[in-house]
Amino acid sequence: MRSLRISKLFVLRRYGTRVDEGWQAALRTAAVPGPVGVAQKEAYAQISPHMAATMRIFFDIEASLGNYIADVDGNVYLDAFSQISSATLGYNHPAVLAACESSDMKNFMANRPAMGYFPHSKFPQQLEQTLMRCAPTGMDGVTTMMCGSCSNENAFKAVFKAWMNRERGTDEVSDAECDAANFNKGEGNKLSIMSFKGAFHGRTFGCASCTNTRGRIKVDIPLLDFPIVDHPQLLYPLEDHAAENAAEESRCLEQVRHVIRERAQKGKPVAGMIIEPIQAEGGDRTATDSFYRQLRNICLEENVYFIVDEVQTGAGVSGKWWAHEHWGLETPPDVVTFAKKMQAAGFYFQKSLNNNWGPTIFNTFVGDPARLVILDAVLNVNEEENLTPKAAAVGDYVKDEILALSQKYSEIQNVRGRGTLVAWDHPSMAARDKVVGDAMQNGLLLGGCGNQSIRLRPSLTFDESHADEFLHLFEKTLNH
């Protein structure tokens, strides 16, 4: 273990200095949130009670730096959650600040273009320089959108249109078809998107019909009749359970094919399938690369479009820019959606999918070029500082160390992950919630996921020294 660590340290030194050199977690108040935060929350609850109900701390932006988030009471936490996995380079990164002081940023913010009609004059170049520069292998085109949910909703619509065009043999749609759809009675009502148990794809109505993390998200709202099938539940450590896991994956693949065929027979065909490389909100559940290759092939065989939701797994955190690029697919996905750490949201697609999107894949703004200015800065820093391979190395390091902790603390189970997308289980939801709460009182900000998991979701600038501080604070938390 020790020699491994030394060789890894050697590797990690390649990645440059810390933006937050000299910083560490430090609490000023006896408990957190402190008195200022508590008082402010009361006022907040008068205006926006539900937002006050879910909040954890008031984020003092100017007092935060790198991987350290400050609250309104002056407490500083090591942030292993990074704004629900969205702060790509941490806080107040100089390259991002410079991008935000640029004339492009000012122009785009002060004059937001309705991009579907009036794209700004540099937009084609901006797309080339940002989204196409980091496009997944095999993807031909891209569209910006507003957020992860908006990206998934529009990806679904693109898939439904492609499916119907294939069925009718033309992309010429009759007026009668349009009229029926206009009153919610169109042929499209028969179609669905298949998703997986434990999936999270968003909370708008189309997305919510594919989300299966917690019923409390979806209860009381009408949903579309979309099928949700089993996701492999792998046993860890993987090397000790190869046979059971292979059987579990085969079972799930058979179910996928069965449900697709059953729906087709009932005249309710599955038009598309959406899957996350790692089911993040659902508890960092994943499968083997072989599973995804077989899944992709089933989609090809059954004429189902294959959508990969990289909203939480994209932007380098898996150790590749796109997590699905670990799979070694022979045929790339039909659609890849993104948001969060990509700063901008939207989806990539194969050109074969683009036909008569017309007014269907459209909205007032169709994305936000200001976010692409930040993505450009992120991509530059990622290249200059090799942040993606760094995420692989730091992730391996921290996973090994948590595995070592799991030998000492039996409550840590099923340590798993790829890159810094590392997670582990606690014995129950209550036990997990207690650790997350206690960690905060020790200056460590963690995110839970699934029923009883904790997920590491740090920024791309989280390095081995941050990992060491995390390990120290986490073990301190376990010892209480």
Residue 364 among the catalytic residues: yes
Taking the complex as a whole, how short is the minimal distance between the CB of residue 53 and a copy of itself, in angstroms?
Answer: 7
Q: Bridge-partner residues for 17, per DSSP?
A: none
Would you say 2 or 266 has its CB closer to a copy of itself?
Answer: 266
In the range 268-287, which residues lie near a copy of itself by CB under 8 A? none
Taking the complex as a whole, how short is the minimal distance between the CB of residue 478 and a copy of itself, in angstroms?
Answer: 23
Binding status of residue 254 toward a copy of itself by CB under 8 A: no
Binding status of residue 239 toward a copy of itself by CB under 8 A: no
Sequence-distant (≥ 6) Cβ neighbours of residue 67 within 8 angstroms: 20, 23, 78, 79, 80, 82, 90, 91, 458, 459, 461, 462, 466
Taking the complex as a whole, how short is the minimal distance between the CB of residue 472 and a copy of itself, in angstroms?
Answer: 23
Residue that the structure tokens 């043999």 belong to: 169
Residue 360 among the catalytic residues: no
What single-letter DSSP state applies at residue 94?
Answer: H
Sequence-distant (≥ 6) Cβ neighbours of residue 243 within 8 angstroms: none
In the range 296-355, which residues lie near a copy of itself by CB under 8 A? 339-340, 351, 354
Would you say 278 or 393 has its CB closer to a copy of itself?
Answer: 278
Would you say 174 or 250 has its CB closer to a copy of itself?
Answer: 174
Spatial distance between the Cα atoms of 388 and 315, rounded to a whole number of angstroms = 8
Q: Which two tokens stand for residue 130?
A: 């940002």
φ, ψ of residue 369 in degrees (nearest 5) = -65, -20
Would you say 57 or 467 has its CB closer to a copy of itself?
Answer: 57
Beta sheet of 141-145, edge-to-edge order: 141-145, 345-349, 335-338, 305-309, 270-275, 192-196, 228-229
Taking the complex as a whole, how short is the minimal distance between the CB of residue 145 and a copy of itself, in angstroms?
Answer: 9
> What count of other Cβ atoms lies within 10 Å of the Cβ of residue 220?
5
Q: Which of these, 413, 410, 414, 417, lies nearest to 467 by C-alpha position?
A: 417
In the range 172-231, which residues lie near a copy of itself by CB under 8 A? 173, 175, 177-184, 186-192, 202-206, 209, 212, 214-226, 228
Would you say 158 or 323 has its CB closer to a copy of itself?
Answer: 158
Spatial distance between the Cα atoms of 201 and 374, rounded to a whole number of angstroms = 24
Q: Which two tokens stand for residue 473?
A: 């604070």
Sequence-distant (≥ 6) Cβ neighbours of residue 206 within 8 angstroms: 152, 153, 156, 193, 224
Catalytic, out of 200, 338, 462, 470:
200
Q: Are 270 and 304 in contact (CB under 8 A)?
A: yes
Q: For 59-70, b where at least 16 C-beta lie within 10 A, e where not — what string?
A: ebeebbbbbbbb
Taking the complex as a whole, how short is the minimal distance between the CB of residue 463 and a copy of itself, in angstroms?
Answer: 20
In the range 444-473, which residues lie near a copy of itself by CB under 8 A? none
Q: Which amino acid is at 347?
A: F
In the range 4-63, which residues lie near a copy of itself by CB under 8 A? 40, 43-44, 46-51, 53-62
Taking the complex as a whole, how short is the minimal distance between the CB of residue 311 and a copy of itself, in angstroms?
Answer: 8
Catalytic, out of 106, 185, 364, 468:
364
Residue 58 among the catalytic residues: no
Catalytic, out of 309, 334, 368, 376:
309
H helices within 189-267, ranges in order?
205-208, 215-218, 242-265
In the range 120-139, which residues lie near a copy of itself by CB under 8 A? 120-121, 123-124, 127-128, 132
The correct pick among 78, 134, 150, 317 for binding a copy of itself (CB under 8 A) is 150
Which secondary structure element, helix H or strand E, spans residue 99, and what is its range? helix 94-100
Would you say 344 or 415 has its CB closer to a copy of itself?
Answer: 344
Binding status of residue 236 toward a copy of itself by CB under 8 A: no
Binding status of residue 114 toward a copy of itself by CB under 8 A: yes
Q: Give the contact letters, 77-106, x = binds to a copy of itself (CB under 8 A), - = no.
A: ------xx-xx---xxx--xx-xxx-x-xx
The correct pick among 8, 133, 157, 326 for binding a copy of itself (CB under 8 A) is 157
Listed ranges 22-30, 109-117, 255-263, 468-476: which one lies at the site for a copy of itself (CB under 8 A): 109-117
Taking the complex as a whole, how short is the minimal distance between the CB of residue 90 and a copy of itself, in angstroms?
Answer: 9
Would you say 53 or 235 has its CB closer to a copy of itself?
Answer: 53
Taking the complex as a whole, how short is the minimal distance between the CB of residue 18 and a copy of itself, in angstroms?
Answer: 17
Taking the complex as a whole, how short is the minimal distance between the CB of residue 258 and a copy of itself, in angstroms?
Answer: 17
Q: Which of these, 443, 461, 455, 334, lies nearest to 76 by C-alpha position?
A: 443
Q: Are 347 and 145 in contact (CB under 8 A)?
A: yes
Q: Which of these, 379, 455, 391, 386, lies nearest to 424 by C-alpha position?
A: 455
Listed ranges 140-148, 249-257, 301-309, 412-420: which one lies at the site for a copy of itself (CB under 8 A): 140-148
Instruction: Give how many residues touch a copy of itself by CB under 8 A.
Output: 128
φ, ψ of residue 266 in degrees (nearest 5) = -80, 5
Binding status of residue 146 toward a copy of itself by CB under 8 A: yes
Residue 185 among the catalytic residues: no
Catalytic residues: 200, 309, 340, 364
